[in-house]
Amino acid sequence: MDLCTAAPGTRQEEKAATLERMGQPGARRLKHIRCRCDVDPAWTLEVLRRAAPTLEELFVSMPREEHLRTVHAMPRLRRMYLIASSSTRLALPALPHGSLEWLRVSGLPQPALVSLLQAHAASLRVLWLDVSRGAKSGAKPKAKPFKVLFKCDLRLSRLVLWSSGHHQPSGCPGQLAKARRTLPGALVQCKDCDRVPWEYL
């Protein structure tokens, strides 16, 4: 949805018309959308709220807490690709149980990631987890993302570890071994070392 990249106060007629169409009785069911939340957060939030009843797949980037809460309440959502900024101070409280089955996640602060994974632990089957530690632009490295697996009681059938930054093959065997011990029933892979093809929404 390219309107998500239009700044507040621009393309107002198109934005209003889009929301109006989404709210009309008999409007086409939205099953899949792509939203960037940091350009016009209020408008994007309203898009997510109106799409919520029927949305099944979602690509969402740079969300705020209110966007994530709205996403979490979507009753039909099954697949999500979530990108957050490593500089974002997102915090989520304990969430009610959700129904995601497939998730790719990058950049989400560890407390928010733990809350998200715990909420979907019973339903989540496939997780693509970005294990990059160093943020771009020289920011302080974050904690090892794969450590969240120890806290979430996940029931995955498949875990793919990947890096949005520089892939370090020397660190993969240790990470994979720890993840396999934590998830003995899951297929655990490194996207680069195991040459796993991307899965797209």
Sign of CA dihedral 62, 66, 67, 71: positive
- For residue 10, being part of any structural domain is answered with no
- For residue 15, being part of any structural domain is answered with no
Contact predicate 161/188, CB 8 Å: yes
Q: In what order do the strands lie in the sheet containing 32-36?
A: 32-36, 57-61, 79-83, 102-106, 126-130, 158-162, 187-190
Taking 50 as the threshold, does the pLDDT of residue 192 lie above it? yes
Taking 90 as the threshold, does the pLDDT of residue 128 lie above it? yes
Task: Concatenate the DSSP letters of all residues of 27-88 into one string.
Answer: PPPP-EEEEE-SSSHHHHHHHHHHHTTT--EEEEES--HHHHHHHHT-TT--EEEEE--TT-
* Confidence bin at 180 (pLDDT 50/70/90): very high
pLDDT the model gives residue 67? 93
Give the pLDDT mean for 119-129.
95
Contact predicate 175/145, CB 8 Å: no
Question: What's the CATH code of the domain at 68?
Answer: 3.80.10.10
- For residue 199, being part of any structural domain is answered with no
- For residue 5, being part of any structural domain is answered with no
Taking 50 as the threshold, does the pLDDT of residue 13 lie above it? yes
Total domains, the chain = 1
* Confidence bin at 105 (pLDDT 50/70/90): very high
* Confidence bin at 179 (pLDDT 50/70/90): very high
Distance of CA 110 to the CA centre of its chain: 13
What is the tens place of the pLDDT at every residue in 56-103? 999 999 999 899 999 988 888 999 999 998 666 776 767 778 899 999
Q: Which domain holds residue 123?
A: 28-134+141-190
Taking 50 as the threshold, does the pLDDT of residue 137 lie above it? no
Contact predicate 176/188, CB 8 Å: yes
- For residue 112, being part of any structural domain is answered with yes
Give the pLDDT mean for 106-124.
91
**What are the structure tokens assigned to 185, written together?**
């029933």
For the chain, what percentages of helix, strand and coil (3-state, to nearest 5) are there?
Answer: 35, 15, 50
Count Cβ atoms below 10 Å from residue 189 Cβ, excluding itself: 19
- For residue 44, being part of any structural domain is answered with yes
Give the pLDDT mean for 21-47.
82
Q: With the CA atoms of 88, 46, 57 and 150 taken in that order, what torsion angle do they form, in degrees rounded to the nearest 10?
A: 30
- For residue 60, being part of any structural domain is answered with yes
- For residue 91, being part of any structural domain is answered with yes
DSSP-derived secondary structure letter, 115: H
Distance, CA of 78 to CA of 73 (rounded, Å): 12
The pTM of the full predicted model, rounded to 2 decimals, is 0.88
Q: Is 128 helix (H, G, I), strand (E, B) or coil?
A: strand
